[in-house]
Homo-oligomer: A and B are copies of this chain.
Amino acid sequence: MAMKTTRKQNYPEWYQNVVSEADMAENSVSPGCMVMKAWGYGLWERIQRVLDDKIKETGHENYYFPMFIPLSFFQKEADHVDGFAKEMAVVTHSRLVNEEGKLKPSSPLEEPLIVRPTSETIIADSFAKWVNSYRDLPILLNQWANVVRWEMRPRLFLRTREFLWQEGHTVHASMQEAEAETVKMLEVYRDFAENALAMPVLVGRKPEHEKFPGAIDTYCIEAMMQDGKALQAGTSHFLGQNFAKSANIKFVNQNNELEYAYTTSWGVSTRLIGGTIMCHADDDGMVVPPHIAPYQVVIVPIIKKPEDTEKVMSYIENLQQRLRAQTAFGEKLRFKIDTRDKASVDKVWEWLRKGAPMVCEIGPRDVDNSGLMVKERIYLNSPEGKKIMPADEFVTTVGRRLEDLQKQMLAKARSRLEANIRTDITTPEAFADYFAHSNEWIEDGKQGKVAFVRGKWCGDTATEEILKAMKITIRCIPFDQSGTTGPCLLTGKDATLDVIYARSY
């Protein structure tokens, strides 16, 4: 039962439908912001839990810094403010008064406050207070917070004015250690995207003009959506001594000399949910990777005659007891018995639209056969996606099967990514011709009309204008460089850098 718009027909409309049919989020009356509903926020809670564990395992501790940053802090780092000045929410008053029946802002602040678009400046100020000696270093911290960037074309999960994220901030005694931290956290993100979200990514460095404002180097993970566009899914910044200098983070090193420290920052956001949707959802709705599914298994009782109720429900109660002891991905199995007073066929479809990995139906005949019917979301339209199986077998295999389904989702997404990186385009003419096509979604395993192109780039600043005109971006300079020389796909000049070109979100 496909949704009313398929990916092929209209990809952006399909995306909106997936989000609304899965009841994940909706646009808010607060302009450009979203309301995250139970299923969407539930995904975020799972993402938080899994990623937070990894962030802590790598030695970081959670802190919480104020969301209001004094305006003057942005004066300190010129590149940083240039990057964010156009999209900042500014608090100017601390009171409302009622004037002739109308509420008006009152009590203007001495210094306006900015709602954090990111927290480098205010955290650097704390670092400056906390760091005196090399013995105080490194400081490795993270925070989970809301941030605000005044987007003009907001889109659920992908670009909202307020969004939720984690931002790691660290300070180190040496450049080498700070660079290693930047790369280490990128690797945490790659591993998380691939293993928790089943979303394969390319890893690399951003070109100069795509760097984070104030960074020396920005590293990123880039994912491919089903329409062939790239999504920046996470970034890790080596900030060098830029913020240390603007905030005065100095320490006495082992030779008893005073020097500036080195900082890093890295983050992922609720945008990952948008990426997960566009990587896995299909024409029937959302498909959630089992590892982060709020419920991995949903059981719907199929009761047509009231006299069957007790029989079916006591069977499910018994099954429930046994499922409580099961695990998947090293954690307790997350399952739900949907007993709402609603037609069972509607309930089943609701959970399939939400992308619950397994939806089980249990009616009187299943009780007689000590079995159940299992629908696996990713195989919804294949004959093997619907299985009648003994309850014993289901209970003992469910955890492993969920882990297998997760692997299969990753494998499918990886084959799509690999099939859609063109490496055979070697001249500016062929390149321009290629991207002149309109976007369309990519069928699995087949090459789409508009995918990624891996090719040469000369690095000239003049290429920025060419890219802008073509509406293409350089997604990253992959870590795995070929070292060969060839013509730049934008200018035709000799070039050695391999880069990934793509349309993007």
| Residues on A facing B (Cβ under 8 Å) | 28-31, 33-38, 41-42, 44-45, 61-75, 81, 85-98, 102-103, 105, 112-115, 122, 125-126, 135, 141, 145-146, 150, 161-162, 164, 341
Assembled-state Cα–Cα distance A477/B98 (Å): 33
Given known contacts A63-B41, A103-B75, A146-B67, A35 and B92 CB-to-CB distance under 8 angstroms: no
A37 touching B66, Cβ below 8 Å: no
Contacts of A341 in B (CB 8 A): 135
Q: Are B61 and A90 in contact (CB under 8 A)?
A: no
The CA-CA distance from A141 to B36 in the complex, in Å, is: 11
The minimal Cβ–Cβ distance linking A78 to chain B, given in whole angstroms, is 10
* A90 close to B87 (CB less than 8 A): no
Residues of B within 8 A of A145 (CB): 146
What's the Cα separation between A202 and B263 when bound, in Å? 48
Whether A61 contacts B42 by the Cβ 8 Å rule is yes
Q: A30-B122, A35-B126, A85-B98 are in contact. Are A62 and B41 (CB under 8 A)?
A: yes
**B94-A87 in contact (CB<8A):** yes
Q: Which of B35, B38, B64, B102 contacts A41 (CB 8 A)?
A: B64
B105 touches A95 (CB 8 A): no
Interface centre among A41, A96, A113 (most CB of B within 10 A): A96
Q: Are B122 and A96 in contact (CB under 8 A)?
A: no
A-B pairs with lowest CB-CB distance, top 10:
A33-B66, A30-B66, A38-B61, A90-B93, A36-B64, A85-B96, A90-B105, A94-B150, A92-B92, A30-B68
Q: With A29-B125, A67-B146, A122-B29 as given contacts, are A89 and B113 in contact (CB-CB < 8 Å)? A: yes
B residues near A146, Cβ cutoff 8 Å: 67, 145-146
Cα–Cα, bound, A35→B114 (Å): 17
Query: A28 CA to B66 CA in the complex, in Å?
Result: 7
Whether B38 lies near A141 (C-beta < 8 A) is yes
Q: Are B81 and A88 in contact (CB under 8 A)?
A: no
Other than the known A30-B68, A71-B105, A115-B115, what 14 A-B pairs have Cβ atoms closer than 8 Å? Answer: A29-B122, A30-B66, A37-B63, A74-B96, A74-B103, A75-B103, A81-B96, A85-B95, A85-B97, A88-B94, A92-B93, A105-B112, A145-B146, A146-B146
Assembled-state Cα–Cα distance A162/B113 (Å)? 13
* A105 and B122 contacting across the interface, CB-CB below 8 Å: no
User: Please, could you name 12 A-B residue pairs with CB atoms under 8 Å apart, sorted by A?
Assistant: A29-B122, A30-B69, A30-B70, A31-B70, A33-B68, A35-B65, A85-B96, A87-B94, A90-B94, A90-B96, A91-B115, A94-B150
Residue with the highest number of chain B CB atoms closer than 10 Å, among A72, A75, A95, A125 = A95
Shortest A49–chain B CB gap in Å is 10
Residues of B within 8 A of A161 (CB): 68
Instruction: List B contacts of A37 (CB < 8 A).
Output: 63
**Which residue, A42, A114, A164, has most C-beta atoms of chain B within 10 A?**
A114
Which residues of the partner chain B approach A98 to less than 8 Å between Cβ atoms?
81, 85
Interfacial chain B residues near A34, Cβ < 8 Å: 66
CB distance from A31 to the nearest CB of B (A): 8
When distances are taken between beta carbons in the complex, the residues of chain B under 8 Å from A30 are 66, 68-70, 113, 122
Q: Are B96 and A66 in contact (CB under 8 A)?
A: no
C-alpha spacing A29/B71, complex, angstroms: 12
Complex contact A35–B62 (CB within 8 A): no
A96/B88 in contact, CB under 8 A: yes
A36 cross-chain contacts in B, Cβ below 8 A: 63-65
Contact between chains at B68 and A162 (CB < 8 Å) = yes
Cβ-defined contact, A87 with B95, below 8 A: yes
Q: Interface centre among A33, A70, A73, by most B CB within 10 Å?
A: A33
Instruction: Determine whether the beta carbon of A150 is less than 8 Å from that of B28.
Output: no
* Identity of the chain B residue whose Cβ is nearest the Cβ of A139 in the assembled complex: B38
Q: Which residues from B are CB-within-8-Å of A162?
A: 66-68
The docked-state distance in angstroms from the alpha carbon of A71 to that of B36 is 21
Say whether A35 contacts B66, CB under 8 Å: yes
Contacts of A62 in B (CB 8 A): 38, 41-42, 45
How far in angstroms is the closest Cβ of chain B from A40? 8
What residues on B are CB-neighbors of A94 within 8 Å? 87-90, 150
> In the complex, A39 Cα to B376 Cα: how many Å?
43
Chain B residue nearest in CB terms to A114? B96
Query: Bound complex: CA of A135 vs CA of B125, how far in Å?
Result: 53
Please give, as numbers and ranges, the residues of chain B lying within 8 Å of A74 by CB-CB distance.
Answer: 96, 103
Q: Which residue of B lies closest to A145 (CB)?
A: B146
A69 proximity list for chain B (CB < 8 A): 30
List B contacts of A150 (CB < 8 A).
94-95
Q: Count chain B CB atoms within 10 A of each CB in A75, A88, A114 and give the residue with the most.
A: A88
- Report how far A53 CA is from B505 CA in the complex, Å: 36
- The chain B residue with its CB closest to the CB of A88 is B96
Nearest opposing residue in chain B for A146, CB measure: B67
